[in-house]
Amino acid sequence: MRFPWWPATIAVGASFKPATTAQTDALAAVGAWNLVNYQRSIDSECTLENAVVRKEWDTLSKPERKAYTDAVLCLMAAPSQTDPAVAPGCKSRYDDFVAVHMNQTFTIHATANFLSWHRYFTYTYEQALIHECGYKGAQPYWNWARSALDPIHSPVFDGSEYSMSGNGVYEEHNCTNALPSGLNCIPPGEGGGCVTSGPFRNMTVNLGPVFPTLAEPEVVPASSLLAYNPRCLKRDISVWVSSNYTTDAVIADLITQNPDIVSFQNTMQGDFPAGIYGVHSGGHYTIGGDPGGDLFTSPGDPAFFLHHAQIDRTWWIWQNQDLENRLMAIGGTITLSNSPPSRNGTLNDTIDLGVNAPAVPIRDIMNTMAGPLCYVYE
């Protein structure tokens, strides 16, 4: 059975051969059927008929892709709403999103609110594109599995005007020591330098880096957390990372082998002492570079939001496998990897995105079909 929000076909360029997504697609289909039945059993203003449909980048037409990147460029051109005394590096509305992620990095990763915080963050960004820049679509996602064997030539990163821009120009550099454990240093790729193709070829990154990982002498930490540090967007797209950590089999195993929320989110974020990236770090370090390779400043690369829409979609598929037990499942503490030791997070904890959105309790963000949210994934 096909669901009304799913596409019949996906068009791709002749030079790109997408990898399989069969296992994840099957899980998504089961989850969609469960969601249909669940929605029939409740009374909700958000329905499958009026929900916003988030689509994979490859399924968007070229005009739809350009409309999205034009809206992102609009946000980058709009003035910041953040107090310059607090964040002197914030020069645009886009920077406002980067800054709040930087400020809260230690309390939104390896914590109970990791998934819900980033869900609301991505939703709020989507709303800014719509209400402040006239975007008519929804936040697209980057299905890592499709491009796992050839990310550079994928529609997301092929460098055309209908992409999220391409790789950086080649600059000689050493491996990227991305994990805090120092294991599995990422072999240098074909990039490393400034992005010179696609919609973001002239982009200026204003904030960070805080903990840079790109092994180039000029990529050094900014003078302070939210200081103004203008520079070009750099990428070092890595097929080594994507082919090892973001394949269809890896994503399917994540969903099927982790029935509780703690194991699911921990596996998603990676086992750093064992040198395993997980799909979360895997997506980030497929992009790599500066600021994409910095945990704090990673939203400074606009591909971040496609990556985190896919993180959210993967969680959504996992939730939909067992809505009764997983829809409101929360686990973990309120500090990164429970260091320092802290209390458990709860559904009543607040997500605060500063100037970007009203603060909300986590419970309002757990269901994409309730609270301020009303969307599904195609």
**C-alpha distance across the termini of the chain, in Å:** 14
Count of beta carbons in the 10 Å neighbourhood of residue 210: 17
pLDDT exceeds 70 at position 70: yes
Contact 98, 230 (CB under 8 A): no
Report domain extents, the chain: 46-141+342-377, 151-301
Distance CA 222, CA 228 (A): 8
pLDDT in tens, 350-360: 999 999 999 99
pLDDT band with cut points at 50, 70 and 90 for residue 15: confident
Q: What is the mean pLDDT of residues 46-73?
A: 97
Return the pLDDT at 372: 97
**Closest residue by Cα to residue 316 from 378, 267, 244, 227:** 378
Question: In Å, how far are 97, 164, 284 from 291, measured between CA atoms?
Answer: 14, 15, 10
Omega prior to 155 cis, within 30 of 0: no
Distance CA 29, CA 252 (A): 13
Decide the pairing of beta strands 375-377 and 350-351.
Answer: unpaired
> Which architecture does CATH list for 151-301?
Orthogonal Bundle (1.10)
**Closest residue by Cα to residue 93 from 302, 261, 268:** 302
Decide the pairing of beta strands 192-195 and 204-205.
Answer: unpaired
pTM, entire model: 0.96
pLDDT in tens, 321-371: 999 999 999 999 999 999 999 999 999 999 999 999 999 999 999 999 999
Distance CA 172, CA 202 (A): 22
Contact 53, 138 (CB under 8 A): yes
Distance CA 6, CA 183 (A): 40
pLDDT in tens, 118-174: 999 999 999 999 999 999 999 999 999 999 999 999 999 999 999 999 999 999 999
**176 token code pair:** 């990227």
Contact 214, 293 (CB under 8 A): yes
Omega prior to 209 cis, within 30 of 0: yes
Contact 56, 141 (CB under 8 A): yes
**Closest residue by Cα to residue 110 from 362, 347, 336:** 336
**Closest residue by Cα to residue 351 from 139, 129, 115:** 115
Distance CA 90, CA 207 (A): 7
**288 token code pair:** 């790599």
